[in-house]
C-alpha cells in the first residue's frame, strides 16, 4: 500500500465517509501507531490505525446490507446521549457503517456497508440518486400541496431551495415523495413550510434497493444482482 491520507484509509475500512472521517480525526478519535492523527496525516503499509482504541484495517470483501431502521434509533456510530444507535443495534461479523441518514423520528431503509467509496457515492447530493418515502401528515392534503412540493420550497433555516421532486397523493393524509438530495430533515421542513406537520415518515427505497418485506430492526445482505446494479448506479465497480 502506498501512502494514503487518513480520511481515505478510514473510508476504505468502512469506518465512515471521507467527510465524516475528517470529523473523527478532528475529534481526536483516530491514532496512527499510537499517536493521535491530524487532518492530512498519511498512512503507510505496516502502520497501525485505531479508531476509538480499536485497530481497523481495509475491508477484504465488500459487504452491503439493507436495514430497516426503526423509529428511535439514532444514525450515528457513537453518541453518549442516544439510547439506541446503529452500532448498538446491528450485530454483524464485519464492521459496517451507514451510507446516508435517517433522523431519529423516521424509519425505513438504510444501507450499511464497509465500502467507503460506496458511502461517498450514495451520500453525495450532486449524484442525484433517488430516495423514496411514504409520509403521513396531520392535516388533509390537496393537489396544491403536491404542486408546491414538486416545484421546490425555500427553507429559511437552511437558506436553500429544494430541488424539484416527484410527489404523489396516496390518500387524504398520505403522500409519496422521491428526492434526489438529502438536506437536514428536508421532508419535515418542506411540510412545515406549507403549514403541515409530519406524523410518520418511512423511506422505502434508495436507488434500486427496496425495503420490501423487511420488518423494523431486521436487515439482509443484498443479493449479487441488486448489489451489482447499485454499484453501477453509483458509478463504481464492485
CB 65 within 8 A of CB 221: yes
Q: Which of 141, 114, 138, 119 is nearest to 129 (CA)?
A: 119
Active site residue 103: yes
Helices (H) and strands (E) in the chain, counts: 7, 17
Task: Tell me how far apart the alpha carbons of residues 230 and 206 are, in angstroms, rounded to a whole number.
Answer: 9
Please list, in sequence order, all residues whose beta carbon lies within 8 angstroms of the beta carbon of residue 60, skipping any fewer than 6 positions away: none
Task: Tell me how far apart the alpha carbons of residues 56 and 16 are, in angstroms, rounded to a whole number.
Answer: 12
Q: Which of 151, 144, 156, 69 is nearest to 107 (CA)?
A: 69
Task: Tell me how far apart the alpha carbons of residues 41 and 58 are, in angstroms, rounded to a whole number.
Answer: 17
Q: Is the backbone of residue 28 left (phi > 0), alpha (psi -120 to 50) or beta?
A: left
| Residue among 22, 47, 79, 103 flagged as catalytic | 103
Task: Tell me how far apart the alpha carbons of residues 107 and 109 are, in angstroms, rounded to a whole number.
Answer: 7
Residue with C-alpha cell 485505531?
50
Helix axes 18-26, 116-123, angle to 10 degrees: 110
Catalytic amino acids?
Answer: 103
Amino acid at each position: 500500500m502506498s501512502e494514503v491520507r487518513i480520511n481515505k484509509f478510514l473510508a476504505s475500512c468502512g469506518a465512515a465517509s471521507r467527510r465524516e472521517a475528517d470529523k473523527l480525526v478532528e475529534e481526536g478519535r483516530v491514532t496512527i501507531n499510537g499517536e493521535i492523527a491530524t487532518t492530512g496525516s498519511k498512512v503507510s503499509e505496516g502502520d497501525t490505525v485505531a479508531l476509538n482504541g480499536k485497530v481497523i484495517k481495509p475491508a477484504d470483501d465488500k459487504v452491503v446490507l439493507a436495514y430497516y431502521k426503526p423509529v428511535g434509533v439514532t444514525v450515528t456510530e457513537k453518541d453518549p446521549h442516544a439510547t439506541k444507535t446503529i452500532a448498538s443495534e446491528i450485530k454483524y461479523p464485519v464492521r459496517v457503517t451507514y451510507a446516508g441518514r435517517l433522523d431519529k423520528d423516521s424509519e425505513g431503509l438504510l444501507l450499511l456497508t464497509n465500502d467507503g467509496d460506496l458511502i461517498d457515492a450514495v451520500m453525495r447530493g450532486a449524484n442525484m440518486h433517488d430516495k423514496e418515502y411514504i409520509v403521513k401528515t396531520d392535516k388533509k392534503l390537496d393537489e396544491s400541496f403536491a404542486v408546491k412540493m414538486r416545484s421546490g420550497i425555500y427553507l429559511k433555516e437552511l437558506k436553500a431551495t429544494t430541488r424539484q421532486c416527484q410527489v404523489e397523493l396516496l390518500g387524504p393524509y398520505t403522500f409519496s415523495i422521491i428526492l434526489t438530495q438529502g438536506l437536514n430533515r428536508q421532508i419535515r421542513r418542506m411540510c412545515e413550510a406549507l403549514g403541515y406537520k409530519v406524523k410518520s415518515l418511512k423511506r422505502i427505497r434508495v436507488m434500486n434497493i427496496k425495503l420490501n418485506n423487511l420488518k423494523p430492526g431486521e436487515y439482509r445482505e443484498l443479493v449479487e444482482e441488486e448489489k451489482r446494479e447499485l454499484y453501477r448506479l453509483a458509478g463504481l465497480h464492485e
